[in-house]
Structure 1
Amino acid sequence: MRAFFPTALLAALLCLAVGPLVGAARAQDTAGSDPAGADAAQAESAARAEAAEDTAQAEVLPPLTQDELLQLGKKRGKLRMTSPETPRFKRYLRAASKKMEDSDYPGAKDLLERLNVGRLNKVELGNYYRLLGFLTYQLGDGPGALSYFRKAVDEESLPLRDQVNLMFSIVQLEAATENWPGVISSMDEWARFTPPSPLSFYLRAIAHYQMDQPELALENVEMAVFLEPEPPESWLQLLAALYVMKEDYLSVTPILEELVVRFPKKTYWVQLSLIYGASEDYDGSLSVQQLAFLQGFLTEDRELRRLARSYVFAGLPYEAASLLDAGLSDEKIEPSPKVYELLANSWIQAREFDRSMKPLEKAAALSDDGNLYLRLGQVYMAREDWSNAAKYFKQAVAKSGLKAPGSADLLLGIVYYNEDDTGEALRWFRRAKKYETTRKTANDWMDHIAKETQSS
């Protein structure tokens, strides 16, 4: 059986997991939109789909061995010795860095622009482009920063540790600008120089998710969460959302349990109770809902009604009725025929018959058909309150739309028989004879009345 999980909650999980990473870039794009924005967005989407296919087909080079990394490090060290930075270059770079520390970005840019790029050696160019990339990023130009960072890496002159850090900055900038194929290819290049980190697996997962590759996204975020002793909230959100997409409720349960413990928010309590319900662990679902209610998380109409239904399902009708009564009094639950019917049924199951009458009357009055009036008449009939039973059966007939046509007529005949009004009873039994479902029973009653009349 296909289990149910609200689409809105799945969307919320994905929004919370992915949103912080891409929100700023989207806001920047929106601010600069023009009348051709929709066409541009479609073109960009098509381009990225093509790029995703190209990325999938691109050859991924294997990681460098320890010996290769050692030799590369020695080569870079030798380059820095044979092509050292000039005192003038160092002075300008230190001055520009100081201005950046003081948030004087225009001043830093002015200093760097005084350098003659054509006269810089490879070592100087690597450091120059790296600093210019950080400056450009601070000035709000992400694509420009990416360009300078790539130039710095391409000089092949930075110390390996600095290059690895810069390459990961490229990965993060690709993610911030939503170039998801770029994230994957940059990550592959970065991973040649260093073992992947938990964060790198998470970024790769985000990229695959954005490229409509949920299986690869799940594989990577699982690894990220496994490697990180205390994974951030957004990592757990993405993992939970991807499990829900697969309807893997067994796997998502411990993730939501961790979210509830470490980040106790209403969203996670509601999601966890839904997951227990989807897994047919109704006791677990009710327990989670009760805890959430006690902490003040369940305040909305649909949440309180759901808790009430869970109480009824668990055989706790009194608790359900008390909850609904309080919710209606506090105006947290919106009055409706279904709510009043649920309240009445809960009181009836709790054997609080007197308390069931008023909500059932309200439900019947608000309903579009006469079925609840029929039910109300049956309750009075069970209590042998023939007058009220007749009153509500007649209202059921007048409102019509009964699921079992003729049932109210038949019951009215029985009511009047018990009030010793055989003439009125026969009139209603004749009406009941018109319906196939009540014809036989109506005839039996009429025969019974005829025999009684003859014997008297």
Structure 2
Amino acid sequence: MNKLTLLTSSFMLAASFSLFSLPIAAQELTAADRERIEARKNAKTTLPGERIGRVITKALEFYNDEKLDEAIAVLLDARPSGDFDTAFLNRFLGNIYAFKDVNQAIKHLDMAVKPDVLGFGDQSAALKLLADLQIQEGQFRAAIESYRRWMRFTGENDPDAYLRIANAHYQMGEFDKVVPAADNAIRFSKEPNKNHYMIKMGALYESRRYPQTVAVVETMVQLFPEEKTYWVYLGNFYTLVEDYSKSLSAFQIAYSQGFLDKESDFRALGQMYANNNIPYKAASIYEKYMKSGVIKKDRTMLAAIASNYQAAREFAKAAEYYGELAKLTNEADAYRRQGMALMSIQRYPAAITAFEAALSRDADRPGSIHLSILEAYFYQGKLKEAYAALQNAKRDPSTSRQTRSWESYIKDRAKTKGISL
């Protein structure tokens, strides 16, 4: 074990995400405050009594030999007299217990700082360690007060303390108090700190203050442009305020810089192209990363590729992917859509095959599919087959009106060509 040092707690800042507003104002020191702090710093050092001094020396010997239980026993057996000796002893107990029993450490550190009689350095260190241990143990309310006491005592506006206060409020779900604390952390930090912005972003997001969330992330990508996840956050958050143009721009920047690497990233990029009425780019992005294995080949993705190619009037590609969708799902509607795409590029025999596959799978509104088959035969000049499809279409009441106009037209064309129906 190394020299006795202050412990600091480790804590996670959620990259998940709340707010309202208020009361963690940064402390503003008056002249009287500064005078008080300087007087405490410059005060004559007080030493423990001779008896307590011997106890401390003995405890430190045990501690340096890594005999914590013996060190604690020596300190607990001591009988200090006066507030200073008692506080001094409790501070040592708190420091040693910090390695063994955090709850006991908190108890003794609290007793050490309450009388406010320790020297400036010892009181400051004990207050800070107390706050760190409290937040480590999930005693968030107490930790917040201890950090505030420490900053009031030292006169510091410490950005790390404000960050931990923000985190404590976040863990308690007090999102209205997170942002002011985070703002103070940002204000008093010498260099921009990613964690300060992350917790502020999270709090704003949780409180559904989406425009403000966007503004924070816009700042984040300016300060930390190399952080690829921030660009993805920005693209996603723009969608929350329905600014799809800026969302696409953010994703395009991230893509061009090689910042996108997950399936969800490429799906989002494709969706933004689609939302901005650029279906060909949407389909090609989906297709590229599905073929490479980054995006899972499933019903949703095949449908997205096919429909975007259809919207881009790339009917051959649309037909290809509707065909893959049909094989995967065996759904009548996929075959019907494949047939319609094939009709658009005048691949009538293949279209008929797809339509018949749809009918064999109990497609909805079969009359409309028979009408599509009718058209495919008609445009090939196969009037007898077209007329047979017409008879099938008649059986569906939903298409009976359309069949009447087609029937007279086919009969007239057959009569002109001398074809017996």
Q: Taking structure 1 as the reference length, what is the TM-score of the superposition?
A: 0.73
Following the alignment from structure 1 to structure 2, what is the Cα–Cα distance between the partners of residues 413 and 98? 100
Does 2:153 match 1:193?
yes
1:109-258 residue pairs with structure 2 within 5 A? 109-110=70-71, 113=74, 117-137=78-98, 139-187=99-147, 189-190=149-150, 193-195=153-155, 196-258=157-219
Following the alignment from structure 2 to structure 1, what is the Cα–Cα distance between the partners of residues 269 and 286? 9
1:3-18 residue pairs with structure 2 within 5 A? 16-17=12-13
Contact 1:341 1:363 in 2 (8 A): yes
With over 3 angstroms needed to count, the CA separation of the structure-2 counterparts of 1:431 and 1:293, relative to structure 1, is same
2:22 matched residue in structure 1: none
Following the alignment from structure 2 to structure 1, what is the Cα–Cα distance between the partners of residues 145 and 191? 28
With over 3 angstroms needed to count, the CA separation of the structure-2 counterparts of 1:197 and 1:426, relative to structure 1, is same
2:56 matched residue in structure 1: 93
| Aligned with residue 241 of structure 2, among 279, 283, 291 | 279
Instruction: Give the superposition deviation at 1:330.
Output: 1.9
Following the alignment from structure 1 to structure 2, what is the Cα–Cα distance between the partners of residues 154 and 319? 66
Contact 1:76 1:157 in 2 (8 A): no
Instruction: Give the superposition deviation at 1:314.
Output: 3.5
Deviates more, 1:426-435 or 1:127-136: 426-435
Contact 2:315 2:342 in 1 (8 A): no
Contact 1:97 1:108 in 2 (8 A): no
Among all aligned residue pairs of Structure 1 and Structure 2, give the percentage whose two residues are the same amino acid: 23
Following the alignment from structure 1 to structure 2, what is the Cα–Cα distance between the partners of residues 133 and 302? 48
Cα deviation code 1:37-64 (max 9, x no counterpart): xxxxxxxxxxxxxxxxxxxxxxxxx999
- Gap runs ≥5 in structure 2: 1-10, 16-26
Instruction: Give the superposition deviation at 1:192.
Output: 5.0
Deviates more, 1:308-317 or 1:238-247: 308-317
Does 2:321 match 1:325?
no
1:313-352 residue pairs with structure 2 within 5 A? 313-350=275-312, 352=314
Residue 356 of structure 2 aligns with an amino acid whose one-letter code is K
Cα deviation code 1:138-169 (max 9, x no counterpart): x2311111111122123432124532442232
Contact 1:407 1:432 in 2 (8 A): yes
Cα deviation code 1:318-347 (max 9, x no counterpart): 443443333233222222233233333444
- Gap runs ≥5 in structure 1: 1-14, 20-61
Following the alignment from structure 1 to structure 2, what is the Cα–Cα distance between the partners of residues 72 and 273? 48
Instruction: Give the superposition deviation at 1:77.
Output: 8.8
With over 3 angstroms needed to count, the CA separation of the structure-2 counterparts of 1:75 and 1:168, relative to structure 1, is closer
Residue 250 of structure 1 aligns with an amino acid whose one-letter code is P
- SS, match of residue 290 in structure 1: helix
Deviates more, 1:238-247 or 1:253-262: 253-262
- SS, match of residue 104 in structure 2: helix
Following the alignment from structure 2 to structure 1, what is the Cα–Cα distance between the partners of residues 93 and 229? 43
**RMSD across aligned positions (CA):** 3.6
With over 3 angstroms needed to count, the CA separation of the structure-2 counterparts of 1:374 and 1:235, relative to structure 1, is same
Residue 93 of structure 2 aligns with an amino acid whose one-letter code is L
Deviates more, 1:183-192 or 1:408-417: 183-192
Following the alignment from structure 1 to structure 2, what is the Cα–Cα distance between the partners of residues 232 and 179? 25
Following the alignment from structure 1 to structure 2, what is the Cα–Cα distance between the partners of residues 247 and 405? 47
Contact 2:87 2:112 in 1 (8 A): yes
Does 2:361 match 1:361?
no
With over 3 angstroms needed to count, the CA separation of the structure-2 counterparts of 1:425 and 1:175, relative to structure 1, is same
Contact 1:130 1:148 in 2 (8 A): yes
Contact 1:374 1:408 in 2 (8 A): yes
Does 2:375 match 1:414?
yes
Instruction: Give the superposition deviation at 1:113.
Output: 0.7
Following the alignment from structure 1 to structure 2, what is the Cα–Cα distance between the partners of residues 328 and 212? 40
Instruction: Give the superposition deviation at 1:241.
Output: 0.9
1:426 matched residue in structure 2: 387
Contact 1:380 1:386 in 2 (8 A): yes
Residue 163 of structure 1 aligns with an amino acid whose one-letter code is Q
Contact 1:77 1:159 in 2 (8 A): no
Instruction: Give the superposition deviation at 1:127.
Output: 2.0
Residue 93 of structure 1 aligns with an amino acid whose one-letter code is I
With over 3 angstroms needed to count, the CA separation of the structure-2 counterparts of 1:405 and 1:228, relative to structure 1, is farther
2:24 matched residue in structure 1: none
Q: Which has the higher helix share?
A: 1
With over 3 angstroms needed to count, the CA separation of the structure-2 counterparts of 1:375 and 1:73, relative to structure 1, is closer
With over 3 angstroms needed to count, the CA separation of the structure-2 counterparts of 1:16 and 1:439, relative to structure 1, is farther
Q: Taking structure 2 as the reference length, what is the TM-score of the superposition?
A: 0.78
- SS, match of residue 332 in structure 1: coil
| Aligned with residue 345 of structure 2, among 379, 383, 400 | 383
Does 2:285 match 1:289?
no
Following the alignment from structure 1 to structure 2, what is the Cα–Cα distance between the partners of residues 147 and 111? 14
